C-alpha cells in the first residue's frame, strides 16, 4: 500500500539530480577562492615578514618591503571614507526618511543605481578632470580619495538605505504619535537600530576601496616614492597600484615579492571583511527585537 510507484521514483531521481547540480555549483564557487588564496600563501607566504611590512622597497623594487604602499593605502581609504560616509549616510537618510515618493526621488534613485554601474576607469577619468584639473588638487591623495569616494558613494547609500528600511515602520509610527519630529525619531529610534547595517556597509566599502587600482592610478598614486605622505596634497604609493606596477611594468622583481604584495593586499581586504562580520554579529546581539 505504501510502496513507491514509478512516478515516485521518477520524482526522486529528478530531485537527486537537482540537488547534485546545485551542490556542484556551490563547490565550483568556493574552489577559485581557495585556489587563489592557496596560491598566494604558497608563493607569497615566504616573503611575508615584519621587515617586508615595515620597510620601503629597495633596489628597483626587487628587494625590500611594502611599507610606503601600505601607509598610502590607509591614507587613501581613510580620506575616501571621510568624504563618502557623511555624504552617503545623509543622502540615504534624506531619501529614506524625508523624501516624498515622486518622480524626482525615483530619478535620483535610478541615478544612484546607475552610478554604481559605472566602470572604475570611467570614474578615474572623471577624477582626473574634476579633482586633479578643475579643482586643482593635482595628483594627490585628496584627488585620488575623492575619486574613490564618488565611486563608493552609491554603495554606501544603498547599504544605508537598506539598513534604514529594515527598521520596522511601527517604531516610527510609535514615535510620531508621541509627537516626536522626524529628526527626533531618526536620532532616538531609527539610527540606533540601523547602525549595525550601516557600519557593515561602510566596512565592506573599505575593503573594496583598498583594492581599487584604476581610480587612483591617474589621480594620486605613484609607482615609487620613498617618503611617506605628510598631507592629503602629497602623492603616495598604494598597495593595489604597487602590485599592478611590479607585476606588469617593472622587470626583475622576484615572484616571491609580487605574490607577497598580493597576499598583503588580500589580507587587508579579508581582515576588513572579518571585522565587518564580527561587528555585525556583535551589534545583532544588541538588537532587542
DSSP letter (8 states) at residue 48: -
Q: Nearer to other proteins by C-beta: 136 or 288? A: 288
The closest alpha carbon to 123, from 193, 217, 207, belongs to 217
Least CB distance from residue 287 to other proteins, whole Å?
7
Greatest Cα pair distance, the chain, in angstroms, is 85
- Per CB under 8 A, contacts with other proteins among 168-197 are 168, 170-171, 173-181, 184, 188-189, 193
Q: Nearer to other proteins by C-beta: 50 or 289? A: 289
Name the phi and psi angles at 57, rounded to 5. -65, 150
The grid coordinates of residue 181 equal 519630529
269/186 Cα distance (integer angstroms): 32
Chain-centroid distance, C-alpha 79: 14
Which residue is associated with the grid cell 607577497?
260
Is residue 116 at the binding interface for other proteins, with CB under 8 A as the rule?
Answer: no
Q: Nearer to other proteins by C-beta: 175 or 262? A: 175
Total residues contacting other proteins (rule CB under 8 A)? Answer: 22
Q: Which residues contact 140 (CB under 8 A, 6 or more apart)?
A: 132, 219, 220, 232, 233, 234, 235
Is residue 94 at the binding interface for other proteins, with CB under 8 A as the rule?
Answer: no
DSSP letter (8 states) at residue 47: G
63/56 Cα distance (integer angstroms): 9
Is residue 285 at the binding interface for other proteins, with CB under 8 A as the rule?
Answer: no
The grid coordinates of residue 17 equal 539530480
Is residue 101 at the binding interface for other proteins, with CB under 8 A as the rule?
Answer: yes
Least CB distance from residue 176 to other proteins, whole Å?
6
Q: Nearer to other proteins by C-beta: 40 or 167? A: 167
- Per CB under 8 A, contacts with other proteins among 143-172 are 168, 170-171
Is residue 103 at the binding interface for other proteins, with CB under 8 A as the rule?
Answer: no
Least CB distance from residue 170 to other proteins, whole Å?
4
Is residue 283 at the binding interface for other proteins, with CB under 8 A as the rule?
Answer: no
Is residue 289 at the binding interface for other proteins, with CB under 8 A as the rule?
Answer: yes
Q: Which residues sit at the interface with other proteins, rule CB under 8 A? A: 100-102, 168, 170-171, 173-181, 184, 188-189, 193, 287-289
Amino acid at each position: 500500500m505504501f510502496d513507491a510507484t514509478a512516478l515516485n521514483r521518477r520524482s526522486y531521481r529528478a530531485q537527486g539530480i537537482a540537488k547534485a547540480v546545485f551542490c556542484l555549483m556551490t563547490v565550483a564557487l568556493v574552489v577559485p577562492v581557495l585556489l587563489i588564496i592557496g596560491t598566494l600563501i604558497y608563493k607569497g607566504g615566504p616573503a611575508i615578514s615584519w621587515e617586508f611590512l615595515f620597510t620601503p622597497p629597495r633596489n628597483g623594487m626587487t628587494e625590500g618591503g611594502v611599507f610606503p604602499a601600505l601607509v598610502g593605502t590607509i591614507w587613501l581609504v581613510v580620506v575616501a571614507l571621510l568624504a563618502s560616509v557623511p555624504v552617503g549616510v545623509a543622502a540615504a537618510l534624506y531619501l529614506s526618511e524625508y523624501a516624498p515618493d515622486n518622480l524626482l526621488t525615483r530619478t535620483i534613485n535610478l541615478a544612484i543605481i546607475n552610478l554604481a554601474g559605472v566602470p572604475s576607469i570611467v570614474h578615474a577619468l572623471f577624477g582626473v578632470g574634476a579633482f586633479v584639473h578643475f579643482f586643482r588638487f593635482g595628483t594627490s591623495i585628496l584627488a585620488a580619495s575623492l575619486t574613490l569616494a564618488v565611486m563608493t558613494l552609491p554603495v554606501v547609500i544603498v547599504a544605508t538605505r537598506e539598513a534604514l528600511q529594515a527598521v520596522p515602520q511601527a517604531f516610527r509610527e510609535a514615535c510620531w504619535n508621541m509627537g516626536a519630529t522626524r529628526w527626533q525619531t531618526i536620532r532616538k529610534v531609527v539610527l540606533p537600530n540601523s547602525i549595525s547595517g550601516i557600519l557593515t556597509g561602510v566596512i565592506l566599502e573599505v575593503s573594496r576601496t583598498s583594492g581599487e587600482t584604476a581610480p587612483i592610478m591617474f589621480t594620486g598614486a605613484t609607482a615609487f616614492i620613498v617618503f611617506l605622505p605628510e598631507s592629503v596634497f602629497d602623492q603616495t604609493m598604494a598597495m593595489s597600484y604597487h602590485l599592478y606596477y611590479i607585476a606588469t611594468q617593472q622587470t626583475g622583481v622576484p615572484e616571491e615579492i609580487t605574490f607577497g604584495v598580493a597576499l598583503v593586499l588580500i589580507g587587508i581586504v579579508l581582515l576588513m571583511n572579518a571585522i565587518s562580520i564580527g561587528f555585525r554579529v556583535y551589534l545583532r546581539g544588541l538588537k532587542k527585537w
